[in-house]
Structure 1
Amino acid sequence: MGEMTDKIKGVANQVAGEVKKAVGDAQDRPDVVAEGEAQKTEGQAQHLKGSVKGALGDKI
């Protein structure tokens, strides 16, 4: 995947994770909150990967 693809997917996962966390909080479901936190963290890592690819010219 290219730099922009990773960044876009990363942001999408961060947003989806935040939504899951909010839903889990509203429904008092710690399992859903944990899923949301994990997805948000995954999105942050994906976005960082895209940033690194941009800095290195997609060579990784």
Structure 2
Amino acid sequence: MDAGRGLVVPRKDIGGRIHCLETIAPDGAKRFLAGGAKKGHFAVVGASRDRSRSLAALS
């Protein structure tokens, strides 16, 4: 959370390297870091106790 202004989400590749940051405002508006690579990257939200059952949200 960014001091009540929204959420900052790292966009990663399959190796876990961060390629871009996405911000999600309280009203749902999304913005990406200028110059960051969005295509082919994803965000993992939450954690699973069973690592064999993961869910990735792609956009």
TM-score of the pair, normalised by structure 1: 0.20
The structure with the greater share of residues assigned to helix is 1
Largest Rg, 1 or 2: 1
